[in-house]
Amino acid sequence: MFAPIADLSRARILISNDDGINAPGIKVLERIARSLSDDVWVVAPDSEQSAAGHSLTLRRPLRIKPVSERHFCVDGTPTDAVLLGVNHVLTDKKPDLVLSGINRGANMGDDVTYSGTVAAAMEATILGIPSIALSQFLRPDQPVHWSTAEHWGPQVIRKVCQVGWGLNVLMNVNFPDVLPAQVSGIEVVRQGKRKIGDELIERRDPRGEPYVWIGAQRSEEQGVPGTDIEAVMRGAVAVTPLCVDLTHGATMDALKPLFG
């Protein structure tokens, strides 16, 4: 079990994301982290890496560049950024907590399997560091309610860190697309079902060659009660523990007798 972090003011916090080091969400997250601790570091991709998943760069060298004091960018994936942040930048003292985000857009349902935001937190978990992925739900062509994440984020992080959780578990937090005062509360819910990429847009380039563009997920669904999607659509902050161990125990037990 990861031990509870009783005093966040003494914790070293590493921040990363998948929207890139200059994204507005990571600046919001840094302000949140600095309200909790003075020992805050940022190591993030140098450009947007949305939907990168838990990919690691192996076929070329990586470059890590200092941007300012305690701020570094990596020309790689969110996974690369966390790996280098922990094992290259913070070799004197590893972080006590990794925060990933705040993503511009929710990471709910099946989104989490594609999400670079969740992948950064997953990498930290594999490295033995408790981690929280945070995302802000938004609606197309509408302003992003960053103030909601900034207002509710510190409370969520503090409460989650009061308890220990499994070494194979990361926390996934989604903030609703409402103003801070309109949030109905914080709810612990399971992962729902929602898949991105159902919309395929077929076109031809200027030379007449066909191409396919992977579009948005299917239209928003309210989801099943008790899930992250339903809670966020109803105006609640959704907290979902995700397990890195993908083994399905019941199926494994059913298969064992077949192989002696």
Quick one: pLDDT at residue 217? 56
| 98 CB neighbour count, 10 Å cutoff | 29
Q: Which of 51, 31, 53 is nearest to 42 (CA)?
A: 31
Locate 119 and state its tokens. 């992948």
Quick one: pLDDT at residue 49? 83
Quick one: pLDDT at residue 200? 77
Per-residue pLDDT of the chain (260 residues; tens, 9 = 90+): 999 998 999 999 999 999 999 999 999 999 999 999 999 999 999 988 887 788 899 999 999 999 999 999 999 999 999 999 999 999 999 999 999 999 999 999 988 999 999 999 999 999 999 999 999 999 988 999 999 999 999 999 999 999 989 999 999 999 999 999 999 999 999 999 876 656 778 889 899 888 887 766 555 566 789 999 999 999 999 999 999 999 999 999 999 999 97
Q: Which of 236, 139, 143, 134 is nearest to 189 (CA)?
A: 236
Query: Where would I find the beta strands (DSSP E) of the chain?
Result: 12-16, 39-45, 64-68, 71-74, 97-104, 131-136, 169-175, 186-188, 200-204, 210-214, 237-243
| 168 CB neighbour count, 10 Å cutoff | 15
Q: Collapsing DSSP states into helix, strand and coil, what is residue 117?
A: helix
Residue 176 contacts residue 148 (beta carbons within 8 Å): yes
CA pair distance 85, 91, nearest whole angstrom: 9
